[in-house]
Structure formats: C-alpha cells, structure tokens
Amino acid sequence: MNADHARRHFRETFGAEPDVIASAPGRVNLIGEHLDYNGGQVLPMAIDRRIYVALKANPNAALSRVVSESQAVSAQFDIGGILRSSQWWDYVTGVCAAFARSAQLPQIEVSVTSDLPFGAGLSSSAALELSTCVSLAALVPDERALKDLALLSWDVENQFVGVAVGVMDQFASALCARGQALHIWCDTLDSELVAMKDAVLIFDTAVPRWLRTSQYNQRREECDEALRLLRQSNPELENLAAARPDEVRAAGLPRTLEKRALHVTEENLRVETVVASLKKSGSVTGETLYASHESLRAQYECSTPELDWFVDNARQIAGVRGARLTGAGWGGCAIAVGDFEALNDAKDDICASYESSFHRAPRVWLTHAEQGARVELNNL
Ligand code: GLA
C-alpha cells in the first residue's frame, strides 16, 4: 500500500488525477495507558500501516463524494451543509465541516485506501481524520501546524463523531517520526520525540470489542470521581495523574476508585522510567512494560484472558524485552517489544499456539516506529 495505489484507486473511481494525496499512520502506545484523559503522560509511536486520502476539488458539482476501497457503501454530501450520519465517512465529513468553519470549501471528490485494519484498536479513526486534515490543508491551502490539525481532529472525534477519547491517538498519528516514540504531556499538550531502536510486534487478539465504549466511559467516570474525592483534602490537585501514589493510598477512597487511581498515578511514573531508559540506551525497560500490564489487569481491570495469555507467552521468547496490552483494552491488541529478528522468528509459533488455545485466528504486524501524517502528492 502506498501513494501510487491511492492515486490509481482515485483515478479508477473518479476518472481524473487527484489534486492532493496525504497519509497518516495508526499507532500503538508503548506505555502510559488510560492517562491521556487523566492529564498524565503517554508514549505512543506510529506504526507502518497507513490510511491514504486522495482528493480533488470539484467546484462545479452540486455535491461532494467520498468512497473507500474497503467499504461497500459510499456517500454523497453537500460540503456547505454537513450532517452527522453515524457511518464510516463521518471522520472525513466531520473534518470537512471543521475546515468549512474558517474557509470557503469547494465540493470535493475523496477516495480512501488503507492497509491499517479498522476496529483493531490501532487508531484507524485518528488516522482517517489526520489524513483528511492534511490533504484538505494542502488543498485550501491552510498553513496550520500539525499539532493544530491534531487538536482539530480530536475535536471532530469528540464533538462530531461523538466518541469521548483522550488526545493521544490524534497527536500520535500527526506528530510521530520514524525511529522515534512521542512523549506527550497530556495536561500541557507539550510533546517531545525520543529515539527508539526496538521493534514492536503487534498482536491482535481478534476478540470482539463490544464492551469497550461502555467500560471506557465507566472508567472515565470513576477517575473523575476519584479526583473529586482527592481534591477534598488537596484542592490544588490539577488532575488525577498529578497525585502521588502514597497520597492515593492515604486518602481512604472506596476500594474500586483507589485501584483506578493507583493505576493512573503509578503508570505516570512508569512513563518517566521508560523515557529515561530510551534516552539512555534507545531501548525500553521491559520490566516496566510488564508492570504496566499487571496494573491494567489487576487495578484498572481492562485486560482479557487473551491479552494476558499473549503477555505471559511473549515473556518466554528470548529477545523480547517487555510486553503489555496497548490501547483501551477489553480485547484489541497487545505488543511485544524487542529485537526485530527474535520477534520475526517467534511470531508464527505464537499465532499457532494462540489459535489452538482460543480457537480464534490472531493477526500480527511487526513494525519499527514510523513517521506521522504527511503530504504524499500535491499537484496544485
Ligand atoms: C483509547 C483512546 C485513547 C486512550 C486509550 C487508553 O485508545 O482512544 O485516547 O484513552 O484508549 O490509553
């Protein structure tokens, strides 16, 4: 999958050359899980799977059109009056609606191609938002920085699509760089690239994620409540991740809220440990990744037996430094971080063994840290 493929698909669909092609990657989070909406630190990296958006202005048309190579249903819409449809193209049209607030947009033709799986927990929605943003910004043209396009996409996801997520995925898809992880402080929205030489094996447990949204929202409410209670004795506390673990232990919170708050406060310290290790050696500290997984399993309660199985089995592989679930949890993907060759040699066996234990076919992808959103072609 590349820009040539995106261009061919556009030509076959619309019978013309696109004006612009942009792409944006999926992401995995190395450490700092469920911290973005708690004002903490996160450390995602972009993967080598991307979404490509090709588009062309069509000023004389009455309507705009959007087509995806992987979706049976396509859409027509009026760029001057965009409504939410609860369909896959809301990520595209939501971004158009946000741009239309500050620029006069012509009707457009859009085609989407991708080798990033949808719905696996690898942030395909953020990648579709960012690839649309970057292609529209080139078309308008709009000089906004990638960070601002990430914030615009985050707003689209929360306000237009209507999914209450933290800021990590859009920042990762926009700002990551090849060979580097992205350290983000989600309270100030500052970020810094950190060199990383490890490879990452992404393991999709192929467990349906139907619980994810409701559980995710419940965890957010629990964290908000824990913060409210902690503020009774510490009114200055800016966010939950800023609390110290001993402060949480001393607060006498209800047991469930204490567990959630302990995960958040300890995980925030783990991000700093992994960043320090990357800065020193270019590699993650594996034990910190295992500790993160254990905390997500026991304290945050967002793991599954399949994710636990992967982490336990990855631990046995020579050359794997650490492993953990990544993303929201409740199904979806886990990662093993380590030497490329070792991960490559081990991946078929671990898939076969998973399939015989769980009777589900997993999917795996081996990647290094890749580049964030970019313009692939600009014919204007
Ligand atoms: C999902 C959300 C992110 C983040 C993670 C948990 O992937 O989209 O914003 O909250 O869960 O770290």
Give the rounded percent of residues in the chain with a pLDDT score beyond 70. Answer: 99
| Distance from C-alpha of 129 to C-alpha of 154, rounded to nearest angstrom | 9
Q: Could you write out the DSSP letters of every residue in 181-198?
A: EEEEETTTTEEEEEE---
pLDDT of residue 328: 94
Q: How far is the CA of 218 from the centre of ligand 1 (A)?
A: 13
pLDDT over threshold 70, residue 287: yes
Task: Copy the structure tokens of residue 152.
Answer: 């615009």
* Closest residue by CA, ligand 1 atom 2: 165
- Secondary structure of residue 176 in the 3-state scheme: coil
* Closest residue by CA, ligand 1 atom 9: 166
Give the containing element (helix H, strand E) for 320.
strand 320-325
Q: How far is the CA of 326 from the centre of ligand 1 (A)?
A: 9
Q: Could you tell me which of 160, 8, 170 has the C-alpha nearest to residue 77?
A: 160
Look up tokens 């708050």; give the residue: 261
Q: Count other C-beta atoms under 10 Å from residue 119's C-beta.
A: 12
pTM value surpassing 0.85: yes
Q: Which of 118, 122, 165, 212 to mutate to test the pocket of ligand 1 (most atoms within 8 A of CB)?
A: 165
pLDDT of residue 212: 73
Is residue 43 within 6 Å of ligand 1 at its C-beta? no
Q: How far is the CA of 186 from the centre of ligand 1 (A)?
A: 12
pLDDT of residue 120: 87
Is residue 267 within 6 Å of ligand 1 at its C-beta? no
Interhelix angle for 90-100 vs 124-139, to 10°?
Answer: 40
Atom number of ligand 1 nearest to Cα 32 = 12
Average pLDDT, the chain: 96
Residues 332-378 have pLDDT tens digits of 999 999 999 999 999 999 999 999 999 999 999 999 999 999 999 99
pLDDT of residue 333: 96
Atom number of ligand 1 nearest to Cα 36 = 10
| Distance from C-alpha of 198 to C-alpha of 206, rounded to nearest angstrom | 25
| Distance from C-alpha of 321 to C-alpha of 181, rounded to nearest angstrom | 16
Give the model's confidence band at 213: pLDDT under 50 very low, under 70 low, under 90 confident, else very high: confident
pLDDT over threshold 70, residue 210: no
> Residues near 329 by Cβ (< 8 Å), separated by ≥ 6?
33, 212, 296, 300, 302, 303, 304, 307
Q: Could you tell me which of 251, 285, 283 has the C-alpha nearest to residue 265?
A: 251
| Distance from C-alpha of 40 to C-alpha of 31, rounded to nearest angstrom | 11
Give the rounded percent of residues in the chain with a pLDDT score beyond 90. Answer: 96
pLDDT of residue 233: 93
Is residue 37 within 6 Å of ligand 1 at its C-beta? yes
pLDDT of residue 250: 97
| Distance from C-alpha of 170 to C-alpha of 186, rounded to nearest angstrom | 12
> Residues near 306 by Cβ (< 8 Å), separated by ≥ 6?
205, 207, 331, 354, 358, 360
> Residues near 338 by Cβ (< 8 Å), separated by ≥ 6?
198, 199, 201, 286, 317, 319, 320, 321, 322
The CA-based angle 54-55-60, given to 5 degrees, is: 160
Residues 140-197 have pLDDT tens digits of 999 999 999 999 999 999 999 988 899 999 999 999 999 999 999 999 999 999 999 9
Residues 20-63 have pLDDT tens digits of 999 999 999 999 999 999 999 999 999 999 999 999 999 999 99
Q: How far is the CA of 9 from the centre of ligand 1 (A)?
A: 31
Residues 89-106 have pLDDT tens digits of 999 999 999 999 999 999
Is-catalytic flag, 169? yes
pLDDT (mean) for 67-92: 96
CA 114 vs CA 25, 71, 99, 153, 333: distances in Å: 10, 11, 23, 18, 19
| Distance from C-alpha of 156 to C-alpha of 96, rounded to nearest angstrom | 10
| Phi-psi label, residue 194: left if phi above 0, alpha if psi -120 to 50, beta otherwise | beta
pLDDT (mean) for 271-284: 98
Atom number of ligand 1 nearest to Cα 167 = 9
E-strand stretches of 196-308: 199-204
